[in-house]
Chains A and B, each alone.
Chain A
C-alpha cells in the first residue's frame, strides 16, 4: 500500500463527520450550496459566519434534524444521508445516541428535575437502572459544577446553568461527537464564561466537537480548525491563527472586523 493510500485510510478511519457536496434549500431559497467538511476525531471545528450563512442548518443536518436534498453525510463511520435519503428511523435513533446536541435555547425538559433531565436519556434508551443512571447523572452534574442543583426544576436556573445542564444531558448518552448550535447566544454576557469553560474542558478531554458560535475568543483558543461560512458555502477553513490574523478572503476579513470591532 502506498504511503498516500495509507494516509487516506488513516484519515478515513479518523473522520467522525464527513460532509460531501451538501445542498439544502427551503423552497426556492438555497441555504447550503455544496458544503464539504470533515471533522476528525478529538478535533474541535468552530463554524463562524454572518447570520443566515447556513451555519446552524449545516449543524442540524449532522444529526438529521434537517434533511438536505443533495450530498452525503457520514457520522461516526455511518452514512446518515445520501442524496436526500436519510437512514431508517431505527438506525437514525441509534446514530443520534452517538451525537450529542446542544441548542441555543437549551431545550431542557421543564417538567423534569435537573437530574431527571440527564437520566431520562440513558434510562429510556440504554436501559440504565435508576441507581446507575443517578450515579452517572450526579457525576456529570459534578463535572459541570451543578451537583447542588440536582433536584431543582429547570425554571429555577439561570441561563448559564440551564446550558450546562443541557451539556450534561447530551454527555449522559456518552456521545462520540458533540454538536453545539450557538450555545451562548441566548445568554447574558456575564453567564457566557461558565458555559465556555465547560466546553473548553470537553475539548481538552478530547471530545470531537463541531461548534457554531459567535464567540471569537473560544474559536481562537480552542478550535483546531475555524470554518467561515457565507451565503451557504464554506469560503475559508484554516487554523484559528491564520483565520484571525491573515484570512485569505475579503468577506472573512470584513466579517471579523464587524464582530471584533470594539464598542465605540
Chain B
C-alpha cells in the first residue's frame, strides 16, 4: 500500500482556511467558556446563596451531563423550531463554549477552594469586602492553580471543535472531508488533519508551560 499525500498538498489553501476557522471557533468558545465558567464556578462556592448556587448547579448538571454533539444539534437544528435561527458559526461557538464552561466552572471552584482560608480572613480583616477579597487576593492565586487543568480543558476544546463540521461550519475537519470526497484519499487526509490538530494542541501546551514557568520565576508558584 502506498500513501499519496498529493491531494493534501494540492488543496493546502483549503486546509489552511479550515484550520483558521477551527482556531476562530476555538478562541471564541474559549473566551465564552472562561467567562461563563468563572461565573458558574463562583456561583457554586456558597450553597447559602441559594439562587446563584441553584442556577449554577442546574447548569453544571445539564451541560456536563449530556453529549456535546447532542447539544450542538439542539443549537443548530432545535432552536429554529422556536423561530431562533442562529448562524452556524454562532451555534458552534455557543455549543462548544457552554459545554466547556461546565468543566471550567469546576476547575475554577476547585482552585478557589484550594486557596488557604487564611487568605480570605487576612483580606477581610484589612476591611476588604468579599468581592474585593475575591478579585484582589483569592482569584489571582487560584488562577495560578487553574493553569494545568485549564490547559487540559483547552486542548479538549480544540479537539472537540472537530464536531462543529457537522453544523456545516467550514473548519479543518469539514475542509478535509471535502478533499476526501473528491480524492478518496481518506487515510492520508485524516493523517494530515491529525497532524495539524496535534500542532495546535502542542502549541497550547507549550504556551501554558511557558506561562507557568514565568509565574514560577516571579515567585507566584512554588
Contacts and interface: CB of A to CB of B under 8 A. Distances in A.
Interface stretch (B8-16, B100-108, B122-130): B122-130
Interface of B is mostly: helix
B63 to A, nearest CB: 31
Interface stretch (A8-16, A90-98, A224-232): A90-98
B127 A109 contact: no
B219 A173 contact: no
The CB with the most chain B CB atoms within 10 A, among A101, A107, A173, is that of A107
A63 interface: yes
Given A65-B121, A103-B121, A107-B119, A124 B220 contact: no
A65 B124 contact: yes
A110 B141 contact: yes
Contacts of B123: 109
Given A65-B121, A103-B121, A110 B126 contact: no
A109 B119 contact: yes
Interface centre among A63, A103, A110, A169 (most CB of B within 10 A): A110
B137 interface: yes
B125 A109 contact: no
A125 B118 contact: no
A27 B101 CA distance: 38
Interface in B70-105: none
A107 B127 CA distance: 15
A125 B218 CA distance: 26
Contacts of A109: 119, 122-123, 137, 141
Contacts of A169: 126
A111 B144 contact: yes
B214 to A, nearest CB: 13
A41 B130 CA distance: 30
A155 B125 CA distance: 21
A121 B126 contact: yes
B120 to A, nearest CB: 9
Interface in B161-185: none
Interface in B143-157: 144
B128 A124 contact: yes
A124 B122 CA distance: 14
Contacts of B126: 96-97, 120-121, 125, 169-170, 173
Contact of A125 (B116, B119, B127): B127
B129 A89 contact: yes
A153 interface: yes
B220 A110 contact: yes
B116 A107 contact: yes
A63 B128 contact: no
B209 interface: no
B122 A111 contact: no
A101 B125 contact: yes
B118 A156 contact: no
A136 interface: no
Indicate the member of B118, B126, B140, B141 with the most A CB atoms within 10 Å. B126
A105 interface: yes
- From B125, B128, B129, B130, residue with most partner A Cβ within 10 Å: B125
A94 B96 CA distance: 44
Nearest to B126: A121
B170 to A, nearest CB: 43
Nearest to A93: B127
A63 B125 contact: yes
A44 B41 CA distance: 44
Nearest to B121: A65
Nearest to B132: A124
Contact of A173 (B118, B127, B141, B220): B127
17 contacts: A65-B121, A65-B124, A93-B127, A93-B128, A93-B129, A99-B125, A101-B125, A103-B118, A111-B140, A111-B144, A120-B126, A124-B128, A125-B126, A125-B128, A166-B122, A169-B126, A170-B126
Given A103-B122, A107-B119, A124-B136, 20 more contacts: A65-B124, A89-B129, A89-B130, A93-B124, A93-B127, A96-B125, A99-B125, A103-B121, A107-B121, A107-B122, A109-B137, A110-B219, A111-B140, A111-B141, A121-B126, A121-B127, A121-B128, A125-B128, A166-B122, A173-B126
